[in-house]
Structure 1
Amino acid sequence: MKKYACPLQRTMDLIGTKWKPQVLFHLLEGPQRSGVLQQTMPGISNKMFTQTVRELEQDHLLTRTVYPVVPPHVEYELTALGQSIKLILCELDEWGKLEE
């Protein structure tokens, strides 16, 4: 396990990219299908979306469920660890609404 000099470093390693906080924020509403989730983030490429959700899954912030149907149905949901950042994400969302 990686050692950190500051807990904030660990937090930034887990969610400190352009897309990770957005994925987590949109999943606060509950489980979402892959395509629906991706549509909530205009500008994200398929490659970046896939990379982002894979990293979040690897870090145990979300789970990926594949349903054995045709076409494949993939759904993402926050884990308990992912849910634990809810307050922070909601505060960031409110802060972003402030006018300059």
Structure 2
Amino acid sequence: MKNENGFTLIEMMIVLLIISILMLIALPSMTKNNKVVKSLGCEATIDLVQGQVGAYEAENGDLPTLEELKEQGYVDTIVCPDKSPLTIDSEGNVSVNNEDPSAE
């Protein structure tokens, strides 16, 4: 009787082929999901800053700037996760600054 331990070369090649096919299927959907997560992260940041604008206004009686919110500890960040800067308009609404500074 012959004791055969381990895998043959053919078996290993089949396993690697299956893993490669699964990776080809999985990677594109993972990158798509990453874009969705970043977009939702920006929306969540806007909602957080908007809430803190209301809290600042209730405590101090006037609208803050983003720098005041950050300096006084109301928020940790004033940019979205994708590094898009936020702005506060004259009515206290927070939004993403979509202006391109190189367009001036």
Structure 1 and Structure 2 fold alike (TM over 0.5): no
Structure having the larger proportion of residues in helix: 2
TM-score range, shorter chain: under 0.3
Task: Give me the TM-score of the superposition, normalised by structure 2.
Answer: 0.26
Which protein is bigger by CA-based radius of gyration? 2
Between the two structures, name the one with larger relative contact order (CA 8 Å, sep ≥ 6): 1
Structure having the larger proportion of residues in strand: 1
Task: Give me the TM-score of the superposition, normalised by structure 1.
Answer: 0.27
